[in-house]
Amino acid sequence: MIKTILFDLDGTLLNTIDDLADAANWVCAQHGWPTFPVETYKHFVGNGIPKLVERFSPENARTPEQLAATLAEFSARYDAHKEDKTAPYPGIPELLAALKAEGVQTAVFSNKADAFCGKIIEHYFGSDSFSLVRGSRPGVPTKPDPAGVYSLMADLGADPQSTLFVGDSDVDILTGHNAGLPALGVLWGFRGEAELTAVGADALAAKPEDILTYLHQH
């Protein structure tokens, strides 16, 4: 029986891609670098903001010093505009309310910088919507390394035998499996069924209600 669900953030709970792409392309434009379409950014994201910055930076702008400067520039721009176009996916608020009503503990585990995660979750879902919200922190490996999941579950008091990981990318499925958890892939996010199936997702959800169905079956 599932008693705890760990959710990915971007592409799972919130459609953040337009604001991420806009901030990245704004930085690119300031430097005269090539910009990219939103579809490309769906494959640039997923491994944390430093990796996103590296991916949109030209080869000749990837020295450690330049990447650090670009990261600071992107972070400031994104922080100021992270709520321009971002919105919860349809059905997510209702899903969270249903899980809370059933006594299921929920938390967020993201590769997005920790400082952004708490603010953006509070803005869209309120301060008491999740038991814990955690993003990328210095010294903790990003997903799919399971170290952060182990730490989060310890703080939640969550039993691996009754915990489910939910996300929209191969990184999320691998994270769940690396931590010894079942991993459910959502089809409304940034990647899609082929990628999720290829890495062995234990189940797929075409809509948020499908997560409740999975819950009731397990």
Tell me, yes or no, if 8 is annotated catalytic.
yes
For strands 203-205 and 183-186, give the pairing: parallel
Q: What is the predicted pLDDT for the residue at 183?
A: 98
Q: What is the predicted pLDDT for the residue at 210?
A: 98
From the candidates 8, 10, 19, 168, which is the catalytic residue? 8
What are the start-end ranges of the E strands in 17-76? none
Q: How confident is the chain (218 residues) per 10-residue block, as mean pLDDT?
A: 97 97 98 98 93 97 98 96 96 97 97 92 94 95 96 97 97 98 98 96 98 95
Q: What is the predicted pLDDT for the residue at 198?
A: 98
Radius of gyration of the chain (CA): 17
CB 192 within 8 A of CB 32: no
Q: What is the predicted pLDDT for the residue at 202?
A: 98
What is the total residue count of the chain?
218
The reply to whether the predicted model has a pTM over 0.75 is yes
CA–CA distance, 38 with 44 (Å, rounded to integer):
10
CB 168 within 8 A of CB 191: yes
- CA-based nearest residue to 57, from 81, 73, 46: 73
- In eight-state DSSP terms, residue 204 is E
CA–CA distance, 172 with 27 (Å, rounded to integer):
28
The tokens for 206 are 């075409």
Angle at 54 between CA 65 and CA 147, to 5 degrees: 100
Q: What is the predicted pLDDT for the residue at 45?
A: 94
Q: What is the predicted pLDDT for the residue at 177?
A: 98
CB 109 within 8 A of CB 149: yes
